[in-house]
C-alpha cells in the first residue's frame, strides 16, 4: 500500500481530513470504510420506485454559523434554501416545535404576549428554587416549566434515550431553542440548506481527488485484509473515526450508544403529512418521528401520486448495531476518560468524528473538528517531517 495517511471511516469527518490532506498537504490518502458506500450516516440514495431521495440513516439537515465551514462546504455542493421546521403530535393535536410562543399559546389555549409567556414559564420553573439545573430533567423544567416538559419532552426523550432524564447530560436538551416569538425555525444558525444534488453527490465530490483512494467493504479490524489495524498502526499515520471503545477492543467496557431502526413505506398518496418531520411526543406511539422525504426538496420534480415515509425507532445499540447517539451517562463519561488516555497514548493514531470522540456532533461540527485536526496536528506533523 502506497499511502502517507490512512483514514478509517468515510463520514464527514474522515472525508474532510482526507480532502484537506490530499489537496492542501499533497498527501496520498487511503480511506477505508466497512460499509458498501461512503458518507457514514449522512449517506442518501433515491428510493428506486419514486426517485425520492431518502436519507438512509435518518434525516440530515445541514446548518452552521461557522463561516469557515460554510465556505468550505460550498466548494463541493450548492445548497437549496431549505429551512427546517418540525411539528409534534401530542394528545392527538399537532403543535409547532421547537417550543415557541405558538406552541405555548396553543398548549395553554391562550393569547399570551412574549412577556406573559415568559412570566408563566418562570412561575412554572420556580420548583427549582433558583438552583442551577444538574441534568436534562431539571434543565428542561428550567427552560420551559413542568407542564410543557411533560407534554413535549419527557415521553419523547424516554423513547429516544430509554434512560432516566436525570442521568442524561443537559446538553441534549439545550440543542433545542426555546423562543418567545412565533418563529418556529428548528435551528438558530446563520446558514442552512440541503445539498442541491443530494448528500451522496456532495460526499462523492469531497472524495473525488486524484490523491484519495477509497476502499469500501474494508473492515479495519479484519486482520486478513491489507489495510488493517495490525498492519497499518505504527507504519503509517492513521485517522480513526470508528467507535473509540471498539478500537481498544472494549478493554474498559463498552460505551453506551443508541441506535435507530427505520421502517420505510411507499404510499399511494401525493402527500402523507404535509411536512418533512412529524414528531410523536406521546408514549403510546412506539416511534419517535416520521420523515416524509419529498418535503425536503420541494424544488424537485417528484411523482405527485406516491410518497416515501420512514418511521424512526430508537433503542440501545448492541456491538453488532450501528451506533448513532452517545448516551453519555456518568458511567460513560468515566469510561470515556480512560479511553481518551489510551487514545493519547496510541502513537501515530488520531481519533475523530462522532464515534471516535463519543460526542454528539452535528455535521458542521464534525467538519469544523476535521479542519482543526488538519490545521493543528496533521499539517504541522507532515510539514515538519518534510522540513
Q: Which residue in the list 33, 138, 245, 312 is annotated as catalytic?
A: 312
How many whole angstroms separate alpha carbon 200 and alpha carbon 205? Answer: 9
Question: Is 360 among the catalytic positions?
Answer: yes
Residue 167 beta carbon to ligand UDP: minimum distance, rounded to whole angstroms: 13
Query: Which position among 117, 121, 173, 355 is part of the footprint of ligand UDP (CB under 6 A)?
Result: 173
- Give how far Cα 150 sits from Cα of 67, 137, 146, 198, 255, Å: 37, 10, 6, 37, 29
100 binds ligand UDP (CB under 6 A): no
How many whole angstroms separate alpha carbon 345 and alpha carbon 349? Answer: 9
Nearest Cα neighbor of 353 from 82, 4, 18 is 18
Question: Is 333 among the catalytic positions?
Answer: no
97 binds ligand UDP (CB under 6 A): yes
Residue list 27-86, contact with ligand UDP (CB under 6 A)? none
Residue 21 beta carbon to ligand UDP: minimum distance, rounded to whole angstroms: 29
How many whole angstroms separate alpha carbon 241 and alpha carbon 253? Answer: 19
Q: Which residue in the list 179, 211, 335, 354 is annotated as catalytic?
A: 179
- Going 248 to 252 to 258 to 261, the CA torsion angle's sign is positive
Neighbours of 171 (CB within 10 A): 12
Residue list 316-375, contact with ligand UDP (CB under 6 A)? none
Which distant-in-sequence residues (6+ apart) come within 8 Å of 334 by Cβ? none
Given the complex with ligand UDP, which of 60 and 229 has the nearer CB atom?
60
Say which residue the cell 490512512 belongs to: 6
Which of 75-83, 114-122, 149-157, 374-382 is the region at the interface with ligand UDP (rule: CB under 6 A)? 149-157
Question: Is 315 among the catalytic positions?
Answer: no
157 binds ligand UDP (CB under 6 A): yes
Query: Which position among 152, 202, 296, 351 is part of the footprint of ligand UDP (CB under 6 A)?
Result: 152
Given the complex with ligand UDP, which of 251 and 283 has the nearer CB atom?
283
Write out the DSSP string of 239-283: EE-S-HHHHTTTTT-PPPEEEEEEEEEEESSS-SSSSSEEEE-ST
Give Cα 124 to chain centroid, integer Å.
32
Which of 16-24, 31-39, 173-181, 299-307 is the region at the interface with ligand UDP (rule: CB under 6 A)? 173-181
Q: Three cell numbers at 37? A: 458506500
How many whole angstroms separate alpha carbon 314 and alpha carbon 133? Answer: 26
Given the complex with ligand UDP, which of 176 and 317 has the nearer CB atom?
176
Which of 3-11, 109-117, 167-175, 224-232 is the region at the interface with ligand UDP (rule: CB under 6 A)? 167-175
Question: Is 179 among the catalytic positions?
Answer: yes
How many whole angstroms separate alpha carbon 369 and alpha carbon 350? Answer: 12
99 binds ligand UDP (CB under 6 A): no
Residue 208 beta carbon to ligand UDP: minimum distance, rounded to whole angstroms: 28
How many whole angstroms separate alpha carbon 174 and alpha carbon 89? Answer: 21
Question: Is 312 among the catalytic positions?
Answer: yes
Q: Which residue in the list 75, 78, 123, 175 is annotated as catalytic?
A: 175
Which of 23-31, 171-179, 232-240, 296-304 is the region at the interface with ligand UDP (rule: CB under 6 A)? 171-179
Residue 258 beta carbon to ligand UDP: minimum distance, rounded to whole angstroms: 9
Q: 173, 144 in Cβ contact below 8 A?
A: no
Given the complex with ligand UDP, which of 58 and 303 has the nearer CB atom?
58
Which of 13-21, 33-41, 153-161, 349-357 is the region at the interface with ligand UDP (rule: CB under 6 A)? 153-161
How many whole angstroms separate alpha carbon 282 and alpha carbon 348? Answer: 48
Phi/psi at 316 (5° precision): -65, 140
Residue list 272-311, contact with ligand UDP (CB under 6 A)? 279, 281
Query: Which position among 16, 64, 103, 160 is part of the footprint of ligand UDP (CB under 6 A)?
Result: 160
Nearest Cα neighbor of 376 from 207, 247, 206, 239 is 239
Residue 176 beta carbon to ligand UDP: minimum distance, rounded to whole angstroms: 5
153 binds ligand UDP (CB under 6 A): yes
Question: Is 34 among the catalytic positions?
Answer: no
End-to-end distance of the chain based on CA atoms, in angstroms? 24
Given the complex with ligand UDP, which of 51 and 58 has the nearer CB atom?
58
Q: Which residues bind ligand UDP (CB under 6 A)?
A: 88, 97, 152-153, 156-157, 160, 172-173, 175-176, 279, 281
- The residues annotated as belonging to the active site are 175, 179, 258, 289, 312, 360, 362
Amino acid at each position: 500500500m502506497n499511502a502517507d495517511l490512512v483514514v478509517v471511516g468515510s463520514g464527514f469527518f474522515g472525508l474532510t481530513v482526507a480532502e484537506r490532506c490530499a489537496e492542501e498537504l499533497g498527501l496520498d490518502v487511503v480511506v477505508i470504510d466497512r460499509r458498501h458506500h461512503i458518507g457514514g450516516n449522512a449517506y442518501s440514495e433515491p428510493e428506486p420506485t419514486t426517485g425520492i431521495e431518502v436519507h438512509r440513516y435518518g434525516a440530515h439537515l445541514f446548518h452552521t454559523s461557522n463561516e469557515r465551514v460554510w465556505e468550505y462546504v460550498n466548494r463541493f455542493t450548492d445548497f437549496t434554501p431549505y429551512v427546517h421546521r418540525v411539528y409534534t403530535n401530542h394528545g392527538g393535536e399537532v403543535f409547532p416545535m421547537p417550543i415557541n410562543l405558538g406552541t405555548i399559546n396553543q398548549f395553554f389555549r391562550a393569547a399570551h404576549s412574549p412577556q406573559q409567556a415568559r412570566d408563566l414559564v418562570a412561575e412554572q420553573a420556580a420548583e427549582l428554587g433558583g438552583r442551577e439545573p444538574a441534568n436534562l430533567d431539571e434543565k428542561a423544567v428550567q427552560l420551559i416549566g413542568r407542564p410543557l416538559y411533560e407534554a413535549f419532552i419527557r415521553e419523547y426523550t424516554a423513547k429516544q434515550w430509554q434512560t432516566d432524564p436525570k442521568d442524561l447530560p443537559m446538553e441534549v436538551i439545550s440543542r433545542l431553542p426555546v423562543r418567545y416569538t412565533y418563529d418556529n425555525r428548528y435551528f438558530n444558525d446563520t446558514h442552512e440548506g440541503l445539498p442541491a444534488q443530494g448528500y451522496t453527490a456532495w460526499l462523492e465530490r469531497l472524495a473525488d481527488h486524484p490523491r484519495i483512494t477509497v476502499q469500501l467493504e474494508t473492515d479495519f479490524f479484519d486482520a486478513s485484509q491489507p489495510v488493517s489495524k495490525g498492519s497499518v498502526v505504527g507504519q503509517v499515520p492513521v485517522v480513526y473515526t470508528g467507535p473509540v471503545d471498539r478500537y481498544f477492543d472494549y478493554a474498559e467496557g463498552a460505551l453506551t450508544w443508541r441506535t435507530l431502526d427505520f421502517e420505510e413505506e411507499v404510499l399511494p398518496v401525493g402527500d402523507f403529512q404535509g411536512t418533512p418531520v412529524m414528531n410523536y411526543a406521546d408514549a403510546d406511539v412506539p416511534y419517535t418521528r416520521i420523515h416524509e422525504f419529498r418535503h425536503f426538496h420541494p424544488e424537485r420534480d417528484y411523482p405527485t401520486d406516491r410518497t416515501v415515509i420512514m418511521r424512526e425507532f430508537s433503542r440501545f445499540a448492541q456491538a453488532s448495531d450501528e451506533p448513532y447517539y452517545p448516551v453519555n451517562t456518568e458511567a460513560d463519561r468515566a469510561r470515556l476518560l480512560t479511553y481518551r488516555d489510551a487514545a493519547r497514548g496510541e502513537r501515530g493514531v488520531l481519533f475523530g468524528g462522532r464515534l471516535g470522540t463519543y460526542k454528539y456532533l452535528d455535521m458542521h461540527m464534525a467538519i469544523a473538528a476535521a479542519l482543526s485536526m488538519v490545521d493543528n496536528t496533521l499539517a504541522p506533523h507532515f510539514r515538519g517531517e518534510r522540513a
